[in-house]
Amino acid sequence: MAEQVEREHMDFDVVIVGAGPSGLAAACRLMQQANEAERELSVCVVEKGSEVGAHILSGAIFEPRALDELFPDWAERGAPLNTPAIRDEVYLLKDDSSARKLPNALVPKTMHNVGTPGAESGRNYVISAGNLCRWLGEQAEELGVETFPGFAAQEVLYDEGGTVRGIITGDMGVGADGEPKDGYMPGMELRAKYTLFAEGARGHLGKRLIERFDLAKGRDPQHYAIGFKELWDVPAERHEPGLVLHGSGWPLDKETHGGFFLYHGENQQVMVGLIVDLAYSNPYLSPFDEFQRLKHHPLLKQYLEGGSRVAYGARAITKGGINCLPKMTFPGGLLIGCDAGTLNFAKIKGLHTAMKSGLVAAETVFEAIQGGDEGGQELTSFTTRWERSWAYRELREAANFGPAIHKYGTVMGGAYNFIDQWLGGKLPAVHDTTPDHAKLEQAAQGRKIDYPKPDGKLSFDKPSSVFLSNTNHEEDQPSHLRLKDPAVPIRDNLPTFDEPAQRYCPVGVYEVIEGDDGQPKFQINFQNCIHCKTCDIKDPAQNIEWVAPEGGGGPNYPNM
Amino acid sequence: MKVLVAVKRVIDYNVKIRVKADHSDVDLTNVKMAMNPFCEIAVEEAVRLKEKGIASEIVAVTVGPKAAQEQLRTALALGADRAIHVATDERVESLAVAKLLKRVADEEQPQLVILGKQAIDTDNNQTGQMLAALTGWGQGTFASKVDVKDGTVDVTREIDGGLQTVALKLPAVVTTDLRLNEPRYAKLPDIMKAKKKPLDTKTPEELGVDIASKVSLLQAEAPAERKGGIKVGSVDELLDKLKNEAKVIS
Amino acid sequence: MSILILADHHDGHLASATAHVVTAAQQIGGDIDILIAGQDVQGVAEQAAKLDGVARVRVADNPVYAHQLAEPLADLLVVLADDYSHVLASSSTTGKNVLPRLAALKDVAAISDILDVVSADTFKRPIYAGNAIATVQSADPLKVITVRGTAFDAAGETGSATIEAVDAVIDNALSSFVDERLEQSERPELSAARVVISGGRGMGNGENFKLLDGIADKLGAAIGASRAAVDAGFVPNDMQVGQTGKIVAPELYIAVGISGAIQHLAGMKDSKVIVAINKDEEAPIFQVADYGLVGDLFQVLPELEGKF
């Protein structure tokens, strides 16, 4: 249908897909250079969330290195970095009631957030990544960037030669039956000399670009995790701004990797979360329920008890690191940030490296355009610049972190990482060549897990959780969660894996219910989708395809 | 004829609100804000009047903080020709808003003022009626149909149990109900053009209106949580309770 | 203190909402008068005179008030209001139409949709679709207030107020009545219904929603649905009660086969009385229901229909 529609178009020098840390950093840097060179430059950012920050969810501990480069005066500009990390604590949870605190000397150096006492250097901040993006969005607007929240990039725009020439925004006002409704508005072509794809982890266009241009050739398959986060108002006496807790162990079993975080931020709030590696094998595992029961551990409960949960969300994390990092260049565009996979899993941080990839992209693109480039080239100089950057160096040193944990487990892998990091990434390379979706064992081998019922105080069910993500989609539109073969969930996944979508989806989008005929039926409640992309990653049949819904749909995360 | 449309910046209808810990008000820090849905319908109706050749100019107006200009830009992107921002950071009650709009109407001399029937934050449902009172114009509230004729407008109103149509002498005030129309989406080129459309800023002082309110908000609290009642053993017992204890059926 | 209540009435009948407003007025305290404005409304005045606690029923019987148009009603109230400290009406479409106009003409604030009387000048009212309750205090000399009827009990009918005619003559050149179409046989709107009966996924399929029809007919109820039932394709979107659907606050809400997901609870928790019928006795709906009946809806519904 896309071919037949005569679409309106707009032309820009640069189109950026996604108003996250990397996209906005790139937008700001492009404009800074243009303003400095007194050159007109049109830069447009499209964002599927209803506003900048609406779909942003991250821990987050923020290392300000890239921000220092972008806006050395960020403090004067009011960047929302208000809570310096003051104390790191790392724990191993042995069971549901005991925890062992790791002596500081044994904590991997990448997990240090406090920095040198008295010095600015090395100090990280407990922040809301959503609010950082809101602020970056304001800076971008002031610099002259056109930001369009509520507009999803639905398709990549290619020319006859297969070069990327921009994107096509999603149609608005299409009914569930696929027919135009009152107020139908066809998507537009946003044409650009260069297009930067910065959709975040498992972007649906990024995924297609990687396939089309074979960007992952010679790399390990990408690896992912799902990260949960809740924001809590806590009583004043339990709040210690700047306190940073990390840990692993219970409630995850030995075969399932991951770890928790609990950060004390501003406004008497605590952010608590669990990251579960999506390479898990037990089809009965429910990451959501693991997170809910985690909060009952005395170590976490001591901060949350008496408080109230104010926000909930989840998002996939691209965690493969440098072994899995695809080629980031192709004719007419670049793939940046978590859309490519620039997160440093050893630091459990990706904001700074994502932003740095955006800065490098902006510098490369601006140089080309300034030199008279009319667009559509493959900017190979990006790769050179990127590989010379501190961000790339960081990723190289952390190369073995993730694979070592996959291979040796959280504890032994952690020890390996500890040694490896002190050696600066000199241990022999470890690779994990099985994609996450292929790790799932059959239900017959799986272990059923009897999760405790949520108590409504520390732990909650999925409906009351999605309620706190402020999620909404226009109901009368086609589902944006597409099944390549609608028969697969009931015919294959149900008998083989007890349809794990029922459990890995953090908001209960997927259900197996009894149909009219008494037979099981696969139900997709797409209105609840918080755009975490886990289904696209973990479905063992790779049968679920996440595409962008009508712009403005999805969660409305405040302060996440 | 000229149409004046009033719009309000409110919390997005998808966002769950929560009361501040000190119960002084609702916490709006970093929550998504948007144009009040009923105001979107008001803008849409004005745009349709212009498309039909009935309206010649659409002026959008809002009262609120600087950030409320975002909603004026939205109105401009949707088809308003220019905008007026009455800038204040104070909490402004319906009566004061109506007084400010009255002054804007005095200056602009519109034939029709369209407002949402209520804002989804304070849920007052007052401003349109008050503006009509202050201007001495007729009011067509809760409109599900607006039919402009020569010198009059027929407004079909959603009233309890049905619909009522009234004819109002122009100029008049209309407030919108949900079924009046389905607002359109703003187009990207129009959003860009909206940035260049004229937007005037005025202050309540310049308009000569004292916005101080005689109504004070003493506190905001979360609604009392419902407590579970009792389990009944049979349909008969249920009916008995509904008749004789709850007295909701007879 | 003295209070004037603008009565709701239609077709010669005093609306039940007015009896609830009288109770709110009693809680404020002071002499209570009721104004009946309309055409040929002597019968309505006699009904109003029976409401407990009412001192006087004032009758403005004139064709100009026949259709409850806001412009003449507000002008009439402006003339009368000088004798009162409070003017009240129910939160009906008439009350909401007329009272803010009166308030502005008197240069005072209006207070909408009160749920509770804290004192003669302080009231509780819902904001943000009932997700917060505001306590507001008015320093205006005249309080103009609409009252949410379901939040107050109805006053009794054992009174005998005096009935007096109001002779103020109001002219209306601003608006005129064209026509009115009241829905007689069709079910009421979800958001305006006195009784709502909703089905959830427990209904099993769309066909089974017919089981609700008979009960809805008998009770004059609107039929709603939970999001799960809408998502499962049983019924169309516009029947949905909850988060992205409608907020309802009827006097009686009957939830059938609804588990009670928070989205749904958010849409109906302001109902005065909630009845839940569900076969799963652990269903969260029972935590908010005033009366819960654990049972198979396919047995309970026909029995209920027969006995209502």
pLDDT value at residue A421: 57
Note whether A10 contacts B12, CB cutoff 8 Å. Answer: no
Cα A54 from Cα A22, distance rounded (Å): 16
Kindly report the CATH number assigned to the domain that includes residue C267. 3.40.50.1220
Cα C168 from Cα A99, distance rounded (Å): 81
Residue C247: which domain range? 190-307
SS3 A217: coil
Which residues in chain A are closer than 8 Å to C285, comparing Cβ atoms?
none
Residue A498: which domain range? 439-446+461-546
Which residues in chain B are closer than 8 Å to C251, comparing Cβ atoms?
248
Q: Are residues A418 and A297 in the same domain?
A: no
Please tell me the number of Cα atoms within 13 Å of A529 on its side-chain side.
Answer: 30
pLDDT value at residue B15: 87
Q: Are residues C151 and C203 in the same domain?
A: no
- The amino acid present at A259, given as its one-letter code, is G
Kindly report the CATH number assigned to the domain that includes residue C25. 3.40.50.620
Q: Are residues A21 and A162 in the same domain?
A: yes
**Residue position matching structure tokens 């590989």:** A387
Residue pair C124/C133 in contact by the 8 Å Cβ criterion: yes
> pLDDT (tens digit, 9 = 90+) per residue, A317-365?
999 999 999 999 999 999 999 999 999 998 999 999 999 999 999 999 9
pLDDT above 90 coverage of chain B, percent: 85
Distance from CA of A525 to the nearest CA of C (A): 6
Q: Are residues C127 and C199 in the same domain?
A: no
SS3 C42: helix
Is A82 an interface residue toward B (CB < 8 Å)?
Answer: no
Q: Are residues A191 and A262 in the same domain?
A: no
Cα C65 from Cα C78, distance rounded (Å): 14
Note whether B162 contacts C178, CB cutoff 8 Å. Answer: no
Q: In the listed set A291, A320, A349, which residue is the last one of a domain according to the structure?
A: A320
pLDDT value at residue B219: 96
Q: Which of C185, C261, C121 is nearest to A460 (CA)?
A: C261
Cα B222 from Cα A32, distance rounded (Å): 46
Task: For B86, list phi and psi in degrees, rounded to 5.
Answer: -90, 105
Q: Are residues A475 and A428 in the same domain?
A: no
Distance from CA of B101 to the nearest CA of A (A): 29
In a domain, A155, yes or no: yes
**Tally of structural domains, chain A:** 4
In a domain, A552, yes or no: no
The binding site of C for FAD consists of 201, 226-227, 240-244, 257-264, 278
Interface test with B, best of C16, C107, C146, C180 (most B CBs within 10 A): C180
CA distances B176 to A341, B145, B155, Å, are 48, 9, 10
Chain B residues within 8 A (CB-CB) of chain A?
12, 14-16, 18, 21, 29-32, 34, 182-185, 187-189, 191-192
Q: ipTM score of the complex?
A: 0.94
Q: Are residues C209 and C158 in the same domain?
A: no
Nearest to C74 among B133, B142, B218 (CB): B133
**Tally of structural domains, chain C:** 2
Q: What integer is the mean pLDDT of C300-306?
A: 93
Q: Are residues A273 and A421 in the same domain?
A: no
In a domain, C236, yes or no: yes
Task: Specify burial of residue A505 (Cβ count, 10 A radius: 0-12, 13-18, 19+).
Answer: buried
Q: In the listed set A268, A288, A320, which residue is the last one of a domain according to the structure?
A: A320
Cα A371 from Cα C49, distance rounded (Å): 89
B-C interface: how many C-beta pairs under 8 angstroms?
A: 235
Is B151 an interface residue toward C (CB < 8 Å)?
Answer: no
Note whether C205 contacts A463, CB cutoff 8 Å. Answer: no
pLDDT value at residue A411: 65
Is C196 an interface residue toward A (CB < 8 Å)?
Answer: no
- Chain A residue with CA closest to B20: the answer is A233
Q: Is the peptide bond before A236 cis (omega within 30 degrees of 0)?
A: no
Interface test with A, best of B12, B13, B73, B78 (most A CBs within 10 A): B12
Q: Are residues C213 and C279 in the same domain?
A: yes
Cα B228 from Cα C17, distance rounded (Å): 27
pLDDT value at residue C182: 80
In a domain, A414, yes or no: yes
In a domain, A560, yes or no: no
Note whether A559 contacts B182, CB cutoff 8 Å. Answer: no
A-B interface: how many C-beta pairs under 8 angstroms?
A: 61
- The amino acid present at C107, given as its one-letter code, is D
Nearest to C261 among A463, A475, A516 (CB): A463
Nearest to C237 among A464, A475, A523 (CB): A475
Distance from CA of C266 to the nearest CA of B (A): 10
C95 has a pLDDT exceeding 50 = yes
Q: Are residues A177 and A123 in the same domain?
A: no
> pLDDT (tens digit, 9 = 90+) per residue, B105-161?
999 999 999 999 999 999 999 999 999 999 999 999 999 999 999 999 999 999 987
- Chain C residue with CA closest to A512: the answer is C232
Is A424 an interface residue toward C (CB < 8 Å)?
Answer: no
Q: Are residues C301 and C216 in the same domain?
A: yes
**CA A332 and chain centroid, separation:** 24
Tell me the pairing of strands B230-232 and C291-294: parallel
> pLDDT (tens digit, 9 = 90+) per residue, A140-150?
999 999 999 99
Q: Are residues A136 and A120 in the same domain?
A: no
Note whether A151 contacts B188, CB cutoff 8 Å. Answer: yes
The binding site of C consists of 201, 226-227, 240-244, 257-264, 278
> pLDDT (tens digit, 9 = 90+) per residue, C234-290?
888 778 887 555 778 888 999 999 998 877 888 888 888 999 999 998 888 998 999
pLDDT value at residue B69: 97
Interface test with A, best of C234, C258, C262 (most A CBs within 10 A): C262
Nearest to B185 among A183, A470, A556 (CB): A183
Q: Are residues C78 and C124 in the same domain?
A: yes
Element (H, E) at C228: helix C227-231
Kindly report the CATH number assigned to the domain that includes residue A506. 3.30.70.20
In a domain, C184, yes or no: no
pLDDT value at residue A553: 94
Note whether A131 contacts B30, CB cutoff 8 Å. Answer: yes
Q: What is the DSSP string of B192-218?
A: HHHTTS-EEEE-TTTTT-----SEEEE
Q: Are residues C223 and C258 in the same domain?
A: yes
Note whether C231 contacts A527, CB cutoff 8 Å. Answer: yes
Mean pLDDT split into 10-residue runs, chain A, 560 residues: 71 98 98 97 98 96 97 97 94 93 81 71 91 98 96 97 97 92 91 98 98 97 97 95 94 92 95 96 97 98 96 96 96 98 93 98 98 96 97 90 73 61 61 93 94 95 92 90 97 97 96 86 92 98 97 94
CA angle centred on B70, ends B147 and B91, rounded to 5°: 90
Note whether B15 contacts A556, CB cutoff 8 Å. Answer: yes
Residue pair C87/C77 in contact by the 8 Å Cβ criterion: yes
Is A1 an interface residue toward C (CB < 8 Å)?
Answer: no
Query: Chains with ≥3 Cβ pairs under 8 A against C?
Result: A, B
Distance from CA of B47 to the nearest CA of A (A): 13
> pLDDT (tens digit, 9 = 90+) per residue, B91-107?
999 999 999 999 999 99
pLDDT value at residue C59: 98
SS3 B87: strand
Is A176 an interface residue toward C (CB < 8 Å)?
Answer: no
Q: Residue B24 has which token pair?
A: 């002084």
Cα A417 from Cα A423, distance rounded (Å): 10
Q: Are residues A51 and A137 in the same domain?
A: yes
Distance from CA of B192 to the nearest CA of C (A): 30
Helix then strand count (H, E) for chain C reads 8, 18
> pLDDT (tens digit, 9 = 90+) per residue, A421-464?
555 555 666 788 999 999 999 999 999 999 999 999 999 999 88
Residue pair A218/A342 in contact by the 8 Å Cβ criterion: no
Q: Are residues C91 and C235 in the same domain?
A: no
Note whether C137 contacts B215, CB cutoff 8 Å. Answer: yes
Q: Are residues A416 and A495 in the same domain?
A: no
Q: Are residues C124 and C217 in the same domain?
A: no
Structural domains of chain B in order of their starting residue, each with its CATH number:
2-245 (3.40.50.620)
In a domain, C172, yes or no: no
pLDDT value at residue A2: 44
pLDDT value at residue C303: 94
Is C205 an interface residue toward A (CB < 8 Å)?
Answer: yes
Q: Is the peptide bond before B171 cis (omega within 30 degrees of 0)?
A: yes
Q: Are residues A108 and A226 in the same domain?
A: yes
Note whether B187 contacts A151, CB cutoff 8 Å. Answer: no
In a domain, A301, yes or no: yes
pLDDT value at residue B176: 96
Q: Are residues A14 and A37 in the same domain?
A: yes
> pLDDT (tens digit, 9 = 90+) per residue, B13-46?
888 888 988 899 999 888 899 999 999 999 999 9
Distance from CA of B137 to the nearest CA of A (A): 32
Note whether A50 contacts B34, CB cutoff 8 Å. Answer: yes
Note whether A527 contacts C232, CB cutoff 8 Å. Answer: no
Give the contacts of B69 (CB within 8 A, at least 6 positions apart).
B62, B83, B85, B199
Cα B67 from Cα A556, distance rounded (Å): 18
Q: Are residues A365 and A229 in the same domain?
A: no
